C-alpha cells in the first residue's frame, strides 16, 4: 500500500509538469500509451505508476525523473523499518545536521 502523501506528491508533480508543457491529460495518456483514466488516477494520487509507465511519462513530458519525484524521499528507519515520505518543502538531507567538512 502506498502512502497517501507520496501519491499526492507524485500526482501534483505530474500535473505541474504536464500543465507546464501545455499538454492535456488525454494527450499525455495517448503519448504515454496509457488509458486516460489512469493518467487521471496518477494525478489524483490514487495510483503510483509501474516503472515502465514512469519511463513513458518522463519521455512523453521530456522530463527528468527528478521532476516527477521531487519531494519524495526514502527515510531509513533506525530500529524500525524505513519508508517513503513526501515533503512539501525541501526534503531533509540524509544524516540530519551533518554538514560538509564535519568529522563524522
How many Å apart are CA 13 and CA 74, to the nearest integer? 17
Q: What are phi and psi of 84, to 5 degrees?
A: -75, 140
Confidence band, pLDDT 50/70/90 cuts, at residue 81: low
Q: Is the pLDDT of residue 37 over 80?
A: yes
Q: Name the pLDDT band for 3 (thresholds 50, 70, 90).
A: confident
Kindly report, residue by residue over 56-77, the tens digit of the pLDDT. Answer: 999 999 999 999 999 998 877 7
Interval 9-23 mean pLDDT: 97
Q: What is the CATH number of domain 4-69?
A: 1.10.260.40
Amino acid at each position: 500500500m502506498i502512502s497517501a502523501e507520496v501519491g499526492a506528491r507524485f500526482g501534483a508533480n505530474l500535473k505541474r509538469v504536464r500543465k507546464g508543457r501545455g499538454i492535456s491529460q488525454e494527450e499525455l495518456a495517448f503519448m504515454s500509451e496509457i488509458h486516460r483514466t489512469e493518467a487521471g488516477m496518477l494525478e489524483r494520487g490514487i495510483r503510483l505508476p509501474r516503472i515502465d509507465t514512469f519511463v513513458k511519462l518522463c519521455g512523453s513530458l521530456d522530463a527528468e525523473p527528478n521532476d516527477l519525484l521531487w519531494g519524495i524521499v526514502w527515510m531509513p528507519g533506525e530500529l524500525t523499518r524505513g519508508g517513503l515520505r513526501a515533503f512539501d518543502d525541501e526534503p531533509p538531507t540524509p544524516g540530519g545536521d551533518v554538514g560538509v567538512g564535519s568529522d563524522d
